[in-house]
Structure 1
Amino acid sequence: MQPSRESPLENVLNQPLKRPKIPNSGRVSSAHPYRHATKGPLYPTLPSPSTYPAILDKATTKHLQQQYRSSTQSPTPDASRNDILQLSHVKWGLDSNFVEGLKNCGIEVMYEWQAECLSMPGLLEGEKNLVYTAPTSAGKSLVAEILMIKRVMETRMKAIVVLPYVAIVTEKVKFLKKVVEGIEPCINVTGYHGGAKSSLGWKDADISVCTIEKANSIVNAALEDGSIGGLGVVVFDELHMLEDDHRGYILEVLATKLLCLQQSLQMIGMSATLSNISELGSWLQACQYHSTYRPIPLQEYLVYENEVYNEHNQLIAHIPPSEVKDLKDPVMNAIISLAYGCVVEGYSALVFCPTRDMTERITKLLGQFMPPADEDVVEQRREVIRDLAASITGLDRILGKSILLGVAFHHAGLTTEERDMVAEAYDKGLVKVICCTPTMAAGVNLPARRVIIHPRTGRTLLTPAMLRQMRGRAGRKGKDTVGESYLCCPKVDKDAVKELLKAPMPRVKSSLTVGIQRALLEVISTRLATSLHSLDDYIQCTLLYHTSEDKAAIAALVQSSLTSLTSSELIREDDTGGFEPTPIGIATVVSGFGPEEGVFLHRELSRALMAFNLETDMHIIYNFTPIYGLTEVNWKILMNEIEVLDESGLRTVTFVGVNPALVNRMARGGTLKEDSPENVEKLRVHRRFFVSLMLRDLINEIPIHHVANKYETPRGFVQQLASTCKGFASTTGTFCKKMGWGGLAVLLEHYTYRLDMGVKDDLMELVKLPFVKSYTARMIYNAGLRSIAAVAAAEANNLILILEAAQPQRLRLKIEEEGMLRKRLQDRAERIIKAARRLHGVDPSTKLLSLKHPS
């Protein structure tokens, strides 16, 4: 039975907007909705706006801004003073359509530092590599984009842009497509990340925008098939990711392979948080450039015990303590007061919180103090909530209520639709404050007038690099004349935070020691290096070797890694004393897995081939559940799920290696330490099986929010899980093909499509139609239209009624909105029927019957 959808916030939207009651609140002056009445403040628990540190007297503000600008390297672009800053200047040699494309994106002139950087010898000709650093919002990307697109246009060679997060990949693809849309011949820009579907492969794309893992896989494939010679430029954005504990070594492996190529290839690396730029530049054999210019001046403050200090440790303001219970904590009082003060002045704010729970807690608390908005703004906020309610994942009640008040939270637990809509509402000024986790500082481009920062991420203090990323969000170019950063810490952290503020940016170091086996396996598998001598040459090209003083330790690490790869049967010695990959090694590299992942996956799939249960979906679903990035097991829920399995399901439990006795023991408070390889694998199997149960529900048309509630997991994780599994199933299918397991590969591909569509087998035909997703497909099927042929022969009126019934439970809509909905459904019905006729071999131009909404 199809579960009912989560009901939207009808009770919120159908009531007039009321300010939450604040204890002992005073009257509001009728002259100004935000001005405090003479009989007492509107919010006695909050400081008067005149005491806010942001509202400095004009002389102080002017002095701070002049002091900042005098210390910067370059002024704001002034093309009238220096026409070389014009993008159309002959010196840059840029195609007029390219210049026009940048203009359409709001970029008409350069900053002086950008022109100076591009003027370095050999860069515009593509003869030199480049490593550079500049503050966030200083326009770093423009330098790389000019060099990249110019080279692509002049040589018709390919480019790869490497970015750390999917959200940034998506944003960059949209931007680059807009930039190049008028260029002839056409430049194809395509994004690649886990779970993404692209109409263009590597050989057809001119610019490939990729996550780190996808970029590495593309280069490996190009090395294997010999097409790597077509690569002309690679851009490494966020180059500081080299030292990331989990992914940094993959970035280094990728860059080192490119350094070993004997071809004309320009590499460009950039970041806002590089301290050892000369060291990285030397490694990449690159020119180096460092800029401190920031187009929007940044004022930085430290807040503790309700007192505000400037960057010179001078006390400049005091925030009155609060009588409200939730604001007794000075940190919470400061955060709420500073955010509120920013809003009443008409600006936006970002609040960085250590945990997801805290983002929601501060959002709910701040919502009680948000000033009232115009009815037009309130109606636009309601429209955002309607869109959220109409999305496939339904509406989060806390988020819906907070958006209505002009504040929202943003973290990985939200769905993609929620994150996108919150970001859009913030960009339009409908949401004035976003409370977010630290990862948003690097993952989403949402600047603010004021940034308010809690100094912790989880239980640890922020790193200097993370702090700089967050502060860099302060100041909107074109909207603000200044940015403000407030670091609010508890008294116990005061000394540590002061040290953090004085700490220099850390040296970016290699993390390759944790990935040396993967590095060796990839170069051996792609035949880039196979002999001991060539492997030694490769290692000498790594950042690890370049920055290490103990070369003997690196040699010993390489030798032990080769021994481990041989014993794992990923490589073997050849007749010449060198190395060659085994079928397992080749399958591992081609699929984009690391050595340990490849060995585990081979063991799991081999066991499945010996005893495979096809009575239900469960066994095949388990085998395309990812083996990394898994959530922790809720042992009680897992125990309950196993208890209700039928005999066939229990056989799958046995086949995959899940131990019901262990599950019962853990559900009753037992522990299992990851202190041995056996226990590590045991826990991985059980985590994987727990996640596969979520996938089983998704693939059987259970809505995401129901799955999230059932397994007590954030909806964003469940949604991302579905996307990740599509990518993992695809790569696992590639692994199977390389191993010669064609039948298993076919099964995986079939279930990948089912997961993508979120439907059972009986709807696989219907979801090929446009606008027909899982829920709509089930409604059409239940109405008797169970095939493409049936839809092709359907009357338009009947299909319109089905589509209308399939709409999510909607909020009350105005009459004109109802009319727009009906018009949209009529258009969809027409397109669905025409598509069905094309698929069924019927002339789609045949006049449709009764294409009018029934009365």
Structure 2
Amino acid sequence: MVEEYAGSKGRFPPVKRRNNRSVFVATIEKAHSLVNSLIESGRIHDLGLVVVDELHMLGDGSRGAVIEMTLAKVLYMSKSTQIIGMSATLGNIRDLQTFLKADNYTNNFRPVQLKEYVKLNDTIYEVDPKEEECFRFSRPLNFKYSSSMQKMDPDHIIALVTEVIPTHSCLVFCPTKKNCENVAAMICKYLKEEFLRLREAEKGVLLRALRDSGNGSVCPVLRRTVPYGLAYHHSGLTSEERKLVEEAYSSGVLCLLACTSTLAAGINLPARRVILRSPYVATDFLKRSQYKQMVGRAGRAGIDSVGESILILQDKDTKMITTSLEQMKDFLCGTLLFVQQKQLCVETSLTETVQRLVGLLEDKHLITVTAESHGGQTLQVTKLGRATYKGSVDLSYSEVLYRDLSKGLEGLLLNSFLHLVYLVTPYDMIAQCKPDWMLFFRQFTLLSATEQKMSAAVGVPESFIARKAAGQTVRKGVNMEPVRRMYLALVLFSLLKDTNLWSVAERFQLSRGFVQSLLSSSSAFCSCVLHFTQELEELWPFKALLTELTRRLSYCVKAELIPLMEVAGVMESRAKQLYNAGYKTLSHLANADPAVLSSTIENLFKKQANQIVASAKMLLNEKAAALQEEVDELLTMPSDLPSAAKTQQHV
């Protein structure tokens, strides 16, 4: 059984399998929740193997801390679980070996040789980190630029890419999303017309598929660049757009992608040449691990005999490059607290640090601390602490979440989803919100009187928004967090009603990628809040309400289409077609004849129909198997268990 634990998906604890073993494919946060649930249910010893891909993420801020917590718990609670960590960019292997009590298996084999270069002005230098002078002259850049072209492209990106495309593929990593789009559009201006004739029909198919995924709309930049075989790739695209662009690039229909650093991690899109537009990610200087991830995309096994990477530098950057490797080594040697406490805790001992953190947890009412007669302390997790733990809620938000939910109960608005949506709008996305006040006011006036009253109750009255929309000054000291949160809640509220991501993104003047990211984050947070409320009796009304809202946010379609959306390969437009044709439930699809389905549904090929029916059957069997497992477990409960306990277990 292969189960997905991401967003709102996954059961805690997982279903017990008597005759099968399960593989859980999980995000970092969900893996942590999964381990927590197995520990709490006494089933951690059932966990035979933990595989951590991209282990270097241990150094990635809060997510790295979650990985470390997860692995530390597994190591402490289960001596039988094997841990395998994999990475191509680790710099502190000895420390990790000590922490994980692990053996180290290293191989420097690379199927395609990688040659690394930097470009400074109009000269290319080869990088050889083994030499004392690591930059060695390679060649001058041979490309004739007109004055207007030089002004448009001072970094000679066009020269670098046209050396390889369209015969070979190329990735251009850019520091920002906007820069990706600008670079792709700029290159197109100077490409020859022969680029338009290459695989012209397949590019037309791609554009139509992009239009279908966007409900009839295509991004203007992609509409312009795709005919030349170019595209951009960043989080501003929807997941459907990203998938189409990735498939087109992999098949050679697209020969160049201008992308952000996120493409380097977890997506297998290699290229003959990788160009790093600058040594920055946004405004932060490039880390060694990020650089290695990016240049590691160069070289396509089975296609190229060599891969090339070129980092474009300005004069001001060269000094930072020559000293950054040692700085990164120092940084990577400071990732594991226990192993490295001597290096890290120079001023503060580990004991004092732990004591400080215990005090912090106590201040947040997540634990209670009781002094013992022998001088020790007893720590007890509070109900709020258990709810925080069960819901995998960030500690910094647990108190404010409890306060918001408790206050919400005083006047919970039930004739609309707005209040619930506001309560599950993620706190960590508030900082990214910069309301357009005129838009805010316009959308606010469309709310019903009760919805406006609810908004005022959480600290966002109409008078405040009206003054901001009119450009008037407002009194200082106004808490802007509820205001920004309400703005994001209105975006989500519009999505639930409209279900058209493109039109909502246009309505609020936001990128469709941001809107989709907001939707997916809200879906995941809604699932966390649901688990949080299940541990606090006083918040019982939210249990049923958030169960339904989680489903709505997960699929963002009309309620009747949700069961169909669970089937692999079924997006909203396809779900509407199936529903209108009479295939309204999972059972209907599972029992369908693929040939009849293909002939009934417009533009549904036989192969796709077979996949849809097979997926529906698999889902139906999984649901039946899960129910059977629960029945078997109930029937095998100890006979001496009190009947009341049996009844409670059943309920």
Give TM class, smaller chain. Answer: 0.7 to 0.9
Q: What letter matches 1:755 in structure 2?
A: L
SS, match of residue 628 in structure 1: helix
CA distance in 1: counterparts of 2:247 and 2:83, whole angstroms = 33
Of 371, 383, 402, 2:225 maps to 402
SS, match of residue 343 in structure 1: coil
CA distance in 2: counterparts of 1:474 and 1:247, whole angstroms = 27
Q: What letter matches 1:264 in structure 2?
A: S
Please report how far the alpha carbon of residue 549 of structure 1 lies from its aligned counterpart in structure 2 after TM superposition.
4.1
Which protein has the larger Cα radius of gyration, Structure 1 or Structure 2? 1
CA distance 1:326–1:605, change in 2 (3 Å): farther
Aligned to 2:434: 633
Is 2:558 aligned against 1:756?
no
CA distance in 2: counterparts of 1:322 and 1:277, whole angstroms = 47
CA distance 1:492–1:329, change in 2 (3 Å): farther
Is 2:134 aligned against 1:337?
no
Aligned to 2:503: 706
CA distance in 2: counterparts of 1:288 and 1:507, whole angstroms = 21
Aligned to 1:738: 535
Aligned to 1:542: 338
Please report how far the alpha carbon of residue 803 of structure 1 lies from its aligned counterpart in structure 2 after TM superposition.
8.1
Please report how far the alpha carbon of residue 707 of structure 1 lies from its aligned counterpart in structure 2 after TM superposition.
0.9
Aligned to 1:720: 517
Please report how far the alpha carbon of residue 430 of structure 1 lies from its aligned counterpart in structure 2 after TM superposition.
0.9
CA distance 1:304–1:280, change in 2 (3 Å): same
CA distance in 2: counterparts of 1:194 and 1:656, whole angstroms = 27
1:144-159 correspondence runs (5 A): none
CA distance in 2: counterparts of 1:478 and 1:442, whole angstroms = 21
CA distance 1:623–1:451, change in 2 (3 Å): same
Q: What letter matches 1:477 in structure 2?
A: A
Is 2:470 aligned against 1:470?
no
Contact 2:171 2:258 in 1 (8 A): yes
Please report how far the alpha carbon of residue 623 of structure 1 lies from its aligned counterpart in structure 2 after TM superposition.
1.8
Q: What per-residue deviation string (whole Å, max 9, x for no partner) do you get for residues 674-722 of structure 1?
A: xxxx97xx34322322111111111113410011111222112222322
Please report how far the alpha carbon of residue 308 of structure 1 lies from its aligned counterpart in structure 2 after TM superposition.
1.6
Aligned to 1:555: 351
Q: What per-residue deviation string (whole Å, max 9, x for no partner) do you get for residues 575-618 of structure 1?
A: 86411111111111001112222211111100011121223221
Aligned to 2:123: 307
SS, match of residue 586 in structure 1: helix
Aligned to 2:207: 385
Aligned to 1:853: none
CA distance in 2: counterparts of 1:761 and 1:298, whole angstroms = 51
Aligned to 2:486: 689
TM-score by length of 2: 0.80
Q: What letter matches 2:434 in structure 1?
A: V
Q: What per-residue deviation string (whole Å, max 9, x for no partner) do you get for residues 352-402 of structure 1?
A: 111111111111111234452585711112112222222255432321331
Contact 2:534 2:543 in 1 (8 A): yes
Aligned to 1:650: 452
CA distance in 2: counterparts of 1:317 and 1:401, whole angstroms = 32
CA distance 1:482–1:652, change in 2 (3 Å): same
CA distance in 1: counterparts of 2:545 and 2:403, whole angstroms = 18
* Range 618-627 or range 195-204, more displaced: 195-204
Of 590, 595, 615, 2:395 maps to 595
Of 365, 369, 372, 1:573 maps to 369
Please report how far the alpha carbon of residue 663 of structure 1 lies from its aligned counterpart in structure 2 after TM superposition.
4.3
* Range 222-231 or range 316-325, more displaced: 316-325
Aligned to 2:276: 453
CA distance in 2: counterparts of 1:826 and 1:321, whole angstroms = 49
Is 2:253 aligned against 1:430?
yes
Is 2:14 aligned against 1:191?
no
Aligned to 2:173: 352
Q: What per-residue deviation string (whole Å, max 9, x for no partner) do you get for residues 413-449 of structure 1?
A: 0111111111111111111011001121123221111
Identical amino acids, percent of aligned pairs = 29
1:95-174 correspondence runs (5 A): none
CA distance in 2: counterparts of 1:418 and 1:685, whole angstroms = 32
Please report how far the alpha carbon of residue 746 of structure 1 lies from its aligned counterpart in structure 2 after TM superposition.
0.5
Aligned to 2:75: 259
Q: What letter matches 1:565 in structure 2?
A: L
Please report how far the alpha carbon of residue 553 of structure 1 lies from its aligned counterpart in structure 2 after TM superposition.
3.8
Of 111, 122, 131, 1:295 maps to 111
Aligned to 2:648: none
CA distance 1:754–1:330, change in 2 (3 Å): closer
Please report how far the alpha carbon of residue 498 of structure 1 lies from its aligned counterpart in structure 2 after TM superposition.
4.4
CA distance 1:822–1:599, change in 2 (3 Å): closer
CA distance 1:448–1:218, change in 2 (3 Å): same
CA distance 1:347–1:505, change in 2 (3 Å): farther
CA distance 1:699–1:308, change in 2 (3 Å): same
Q: What letter matches 2:272 in structure 1?
A: R
1:262-281 correspondence runs (5 A): 262-281=78-97
SS, match of residue 246 in structure 2: helix
CA distance in 2: counterparts of 1:370 and 1:200, whole angstroms = 56
Is 2:235 aligned against 1:419?
no
Contact 2:6 2:27 in 1 (8 A): yes
* Range 286-295 or range 501-510, more displaced: 501-510
SS, match of residue 599 in structure 1: helix
CA distance 1:326–1:600, change in 2 (3 Å): farther
Contact 2:498 2:504 in 1 (8 A): no
CA distance in 1: counterparts of 2:565 and 2:250, whole angstroms = 34
CA distance in 1: counterparts of 2:247 and 2:276, whole angstroms = 22
CA distance in 1: counterparts of 2:524 and 2:549, whole angstroms = 12
Q: What letter matches 1:753 in structure 2?
A: R
CA distance in 2: counterparts of 1:482 and 1:254, whole angstroms = 39
SS, match of residue 619 in structure 1: helix
CA distance in 2: counterparts of 1:802 and 1:701, whole angstroms = 30
CA distance in 2: counterparts of 1:689 and 1:302, whole angstroms = 47
SS, match of residue 45 in structure 2: helix
Q: What per-residue deviation string (whole Å, max 9, x for no partner) do you get for residues 170-219 of structure 1?
A: xxxxxxxxxxxxxxxxxx33332223468993644532222111111111
Of 127, 141, 146, 1:323 maps to 146
Of 384, 399, 406, 1:584 maps to 384
Contact 1:192 1:214 in 2 (8 A): yes
Q: What letter matches 1:354 in structure 2?
A: P
1:210-249 correspondence runs (5 A): 210-249=26-65
CA distance 1:707–1:510, change in 2 (3 Å): farther
SS, match of residue 535 in structure 2: helix
Please report how far the alpha carbon of residue 459 of structure 1 lies from its aligned counterpart in structure 2 after TM superposition.
2.2
CA distance in 2: counterparts of 1:405 and 1:441, whole angstroms = 23
Aligned to 1:201: 14
CA distance 1:225–1:215, change in 2 (3 Å): same
- Give the alignment's Cα RMSD to 1 decimal: 3.8
SS, match of residue 217 in structure 1: helix
CA distance 1:222–1:764, change in 2 (3 Å): closer
Structure 2, unaligned stretches of length 5 or more?
128-134, 621-651
